[in-house]
Amino acid sequence: MPLRVLQEATSPSNESHAPQHKSGSSLFYILGGLVVLAIVLIFLYVVWKRIKRPAQTMTVASKEHQEFGKHNESAEVMKMIFSSNQQSGSKEFFSGNLRTISCFDYQTLKKATENFHPDNLLGSGGFGPVYQGKLVDGRLVAVKKLALNKSQQGEKEFLVEVRTITSIQHKNLVRLLGCCVDGPQRLLVYEYMKNRSLDLFIHGNSDQFLNWSTRFQIILGVARGLQYLHEDSHQRIVHRDIKASNILLDDKFHPRIGDFGLARFFPEDQAYLSTQFAGTLGYTAPEYAIRGELSEKADIYSFGVLVLEIICCRKNTEHTLPSEMQYLPEYAWKLYENARILDIVDPKLREHGFVEKDVMQANHVAFLCLQPHAHLRPPMSEIVALLTFKIEMVTTPMRPAFLDRRPRKGDENHPLEALSQGFTSPIYLKASD
């Protein structure tokens, strides 16, 4: 009996303490959870603030990436062009080691070019048509639009051009301002060059006369641009399509090399690359046209042809002229052999006067660039030195390897036969003497 009384006496006391203990534990867990939740929210807010980008850039980027989600190919293109890094507070994407370029909206470029109106057409190349445009901030630009029917090849040229031109920087190379990838649309936006391209002046499409000082300035500027690509850039680059239409001129006729769609990065430890032919016949080095052996010496050969064009103000191949004058390097060499090389000078230039010593030097340089064997052509640094008379001209050029327009007996199976298809007249290699 005393034990039962004791149990009854102590029982209420235990029951009254149990709820208090349980309530205290629950409160502890609730407060702890709230603290953890607050810490997580603060952390997420700080992270969000740190990674937040400018509203305009994020809007453009997010819209583009949403569209690219619908076009797997476009998404891959953007991934290959733009790096994941982006400067805080900038509207520009990193797309190379030295340059940043903007990502333009297609509608913006459509408006700038007045819906790519024919009146704004500056010219057309292998990549596609180029239009003049005016951005909302008043800047004039040149918009190069990929021809949609080019498909795979055009896509490759687009990627190569963006990668190449954003990784290099020189006053004699064209400046890329940005690009646009919108579904199937591929566009490149360049700074506008007031005097457009060199071919308009030396191929008879302009009434404006270029005096010798301006022509020499263009020759030297192109040489320096090529020297940078071949020797001074952090990457060794072969342009593969040096010609008059790819030399752009600013308002003071300073030249800039453009159109890097066919450019190739070249390993330092490799003498040449064996590659599929791409370029413009008439400017093409024989070892590249026939055997696919590509090196910077192919650009040097093209430069030699260009120099002759600038001096005489005509195309390298002109079928309306007498047979012996149709192919410019061949005609120039005949005059050189007969000590009449100055006869090649543009008649208008002879009327206005020129520096004979400079013209003779430029002609000599052109022949050195046109040597039949690649190893005989001097590097661009030496060519620049020769043009500026920093070194003496001691090398006597050999007869160049000409691309002859007249097929000869037994030449039916010549290696260049396949390359000549689609041209108005067949082109064959004439063996040099």
Instruction: Note if the pTM is more than 0.75.
Output: no
Query: What is the percentage of the chain residues whose pLDDT exceeds 70?
Result: 72
Give the strand pairing for 236-238 and 264-266. antiparallel
Do residues 337 and 422 share a domain? yes
Q: Longest C-alpha distance within the chain, in Å? A: 145
On whether residue 251 sits in a domain, the answer given is yes
Q: Which of 241, 259, 346, 404 is catalytic?
A: 241
Q: In terms of domains, do 172 and 279 share one?
A: no
Q: Are residues 168 and 307 both part of a single domain?
A: no
The model's confidence at residue 239, banded by pLDDT at 50, 70 and 90, is very high
Question: Which of 191, 219, 248 represents a domain boundary (last residue)?
Answer: 191
* pLDDT tens column, 280-320: 888 999 999 888 889 999 999 999 999 999 999 999 998 89
What DSSP character marks residue 173? Answer: B
Establish if 45 belongs to a structural domain. no
The closest alpha carbon to 144, from 97, 98, 193, belongs to: 193
**Contact, 186 vs 148, CB < 8 A?**
no
Whether residue 282 is found in the same domain as residue 380: yes
pLDDT(367) > 50: yes
- Token pair for 404: 């002859």
Q: What is the pLDDT of residues 21-42, one digit of tens each?
A: 556 667 777 877 888 888 888 8
Question: What does the pLDDT read at residue 30?
Answer: 81
**pLDDT, tens only, 377-415:** 999 999 999 999 888 877 888 888 764 445 444 444 444
For residue 414, give its domain range: 199-429
Domain boundary among 138, 160, 191: 191
- CATH code for position 320: 1.10.510.10
Of 4-13, 120-129, 347-356, 423-432, the range with the highest mean pLDDT is 347-356
Whether pLDDT at 97 is above 50: no
What is the pLDDT, as a whole number, of residue 95?
42
Sign of the dihedral through C-alpha 118, 124, 129, 131: negative
**C-beta separation of 98 from 166 below 8 A:** yes
Structural domain count, the chain: 2
Q: Is residue 66 part of a domain?
A: yes
pLDDT of residue 17: 52
Catalytic annotation on 241? Answer: yes
Q: What is the mean pLDDT of the chain?
A: 77
Domain match, 248 and 157 both? no
Q: Which residues of 385-402 are buried (b: 16+ CB within 10 A; e: fewer)?
A: bbbeeeeeeeeebebbbb
Residues 6+ apart with CB under 8 A from 383: 223, 227, 300, 303, 365, 368, 369
Over 80: is that where the pLDDT of 14 sits?
A: no
Alpha helices (H) along 52-120: 55-70, 72-81, 106-112
pLDDT of residue 416: 44
316 and 218 together in one domain:
yes
Q: Is residue 10 part of a domain?
A: no
- The answer to whether residue 119 is domain-embedded is yes
Same domain, 293 and 404: yes
Same domain, 213 and 183: no
Q: Would you say residue 4 lies in a domain?
A: no
Q: Which contiguous run of DSSP H or E holds residue 256?
A: strand 255-257
Both 228 and 179 in a single domain?
no
Interval 161-183 mean pLDDT: 84
Q: With pLDDT > 90 as the criterion, what percentage of the chain qualifies? A: 39
Of 26 and 218, the one with more pLDDT: 218
Give the DSSP per-residue string, 312-350: HTS-SB-TTS-GGGSBHHHHHHHHHHTT-GGGGS-HHHH
- Whether 133 is in a domain gets the answer yes
Q: How far is CA 12 from CA 16, 23, 329, in A?
A: 6, 18, 118
Average of per-residue pLDDT across 187-213: 89
Give the pLDDT band (50/70/90) at residue 176. confident
